[in-house]
Structure 1
Amino acid sequence: MTGFGGVLGIIILIADIWAIINVFGSGASLGAKILWTILILVLPVLGLIIWFFAGPRSGRV
């Protein structure tokens, strides 16, 4: 059972890194990018969920 927690942690870490990369690739202002990054780093799971629904979108279509 302890292996499941480690795998889940790695998945959350990868998802958070992906979200931060997408935040910096978005068209948002620098201040907004910094705030989104702090939110994702401080609250990894909740910040990721909030970013997914309300975060800045990529400049790509």
Structure 2
Amino acid sequence: MGIEVGGLLGLIWLIIVIWAIVKVAKSSAGGLAKLIWILVLLFFPLVGLIIWLLFGPKG
């Protein structure tokens, strides 16, 4: 049962990170800012997502 729960949580986490990357790509931020945010989200998923939620491009 532990493997299934871990796999499900991992899948949910992956969906959240992909959602954040799509939101960054669709934002009105400049090209370099988008690239930096996407790299942060890819290389530091947990910390990057928290920082993006707090300080990322809005709208």
Provide the TM-score with structure 2 as the length reference. Answer: 0.89
Name the structure, 1 or 2, with higher relative contact order (CA <8 Å, separation 6+): 1
Residue 35 (1) aligns with residue 40 (2):
no
What stretches of structure 1 move > 2 A for 4+ residues in a row?
A: none
State the Cα RMSD in Å: 0.9
Please give the TM-score of this superposition, normalised by the length of structure 1: 0.86
SS of residue matched to 1:6: helix
- 1:5 match: 6
Q: Which runs of no fewer than 5 residues in structure 2 stay unpaired?
A: none
- Residue pairs, 1:16-35, within 5 angstroms: 16-35=17-36
Report percent identity of matched pairs: 45
Gaps of 5+ in 1: none
Distance in 1 (alpha carbons) for counterparts of 2:45 and 2:6: 15
Match of 1:57 in 2: 58
Structure 2 distance, partners of 1:44, 1:10, is 13
Count of residues paired in the alignment:
58
